Amino acid sequence: MSYTITESKTPNSNPDDVIIIRAKGDFIAGGTTSLVELLPSGDVVKTPLMGDAREEDCRKEIAIEAQVYKRLNGHPRLVKMKHWDSEEHTLTLEYMPNGTLEEYSRAHSEIVWDQKLRWVLEATEAICLLHNACIIHCDIGPHNFLLDANLSLKIADFSGSSLDGSCAMVFPGVRYRAPNHDWKPGQPPTIQEDLFALGSTIYYIITGGSPFQQLPDRMVEDKFRSGVFPDLNGNPCEWIIRRCWQQEVCSAVDILNMVDTLIYRS
């Protein structure tokens, strides 16, 4: 898929694999749902993609994200929403200068233990926040946590999330996906799927890589289905990650309590 930036609100005729969108600022990122741009004000704006068969779905998904921000806006584990334009379906958010957790970890090989432990706590707090508000994220991973100027972690990207039991619009990558949950379009997600993904995210924070990072996706999927997970010997969060992967926890609060215990012992 390619992107063409234009000043026109209405896309002209274009090839099916080209998305045309009105430029509002400097390009930051583009996904399957929206384009993210940095505004002159210092905020960022997310605009639904236009010009292909999924245009209406893109508008619906960014509207879901706006609902999440309206429900939870102001919490320290959430990026602050500045404005929601219900006509153009554009979402203005505060800018996170340190990018995603994934990007930051790749660029900084030496991250101290105290920082990693803080991220584990903040990631777990973020999932507690969502689940307590009847929101299932559905795509938890280091790519969907952002870092502010103080390296505080915030959960992001709710375009595919489930609100109040609604159907999932997305599903996690294989390394963050519970092996006994075969995702199907229109299928309601479960809290356990988020908790499994949180376990893999904690693994990423501690080790700097995703589970079985060097293996092909199909092989990872087969291992997970067989109950085979990466070796956790020597990992300070071993018992937390293992319980997430083995789906032995019932809630994010259970994980938060385990993290609090780890912090106390540290």
Q: What band does 15 get if pLDDT is binned at 50, 70 and 90?
A: very low
Give the per-residue pLDDT at 21. Answer: 52
- The answer to which of 55-59, 151-155, 215-219, 251-255 has the lowest mean pLDDT is 55-59
What predicted TM-score, i.e. pTM, was given to this entire model?
0.88
Give the per-residue pLDDT at 232. Answer: 98
Structural domains in the chain, sorted by start: 2-93 (3.30.200), 101-265 (1.10.510.10)
Q: What band does 28 get if pLDDT is binned at 50, 70 and 90?
A: confident
Long-range contacts of 52-57 (CB under 8 A, 24+ apart): 52/16, 52/17, 52/19, 53/16, 57/33, 57/169
For the chain, the average pLDDT equals 88
Question: Nearest Cα to 156, choosing from 182, 126, 135, 179?
Answer: 126
User: What percent of the chain clears pLDDT 90, i.e. is strictly above it?
Assistant: 70
Question: Nearest Cα to 254, choosing from 240, 238, 234?
Answer: 240
C-alpha to C-alpha distance for 234 and 55, rounded to whole angstroms: 48
pLDDT digits (tens, 9 = 90+) for 147-195: 999 999 999 999 899 999 998 878 899 999 999 766 666 678 999 999 9
* Residue 20 predicted with pLDDT over 80: no
pLDDT digits (tens, 9 = 90+) for 101-156: 999 999 998 999 999 999 999 999 999 999 999 999 999 999 999 999 999 999 99
- The answer to which of 3-7, 27-31, 73-77 has the lowest mean pLDDT is 3-7
The pair of three-digit structure tokens given for residue 45, joined into one six-digit string: 């704006």
Give the per-residue pLDDT at 7. Answer: 43
C-alpha to C-alpha distance for 137 and 158, rounded to whole angstroms: 6
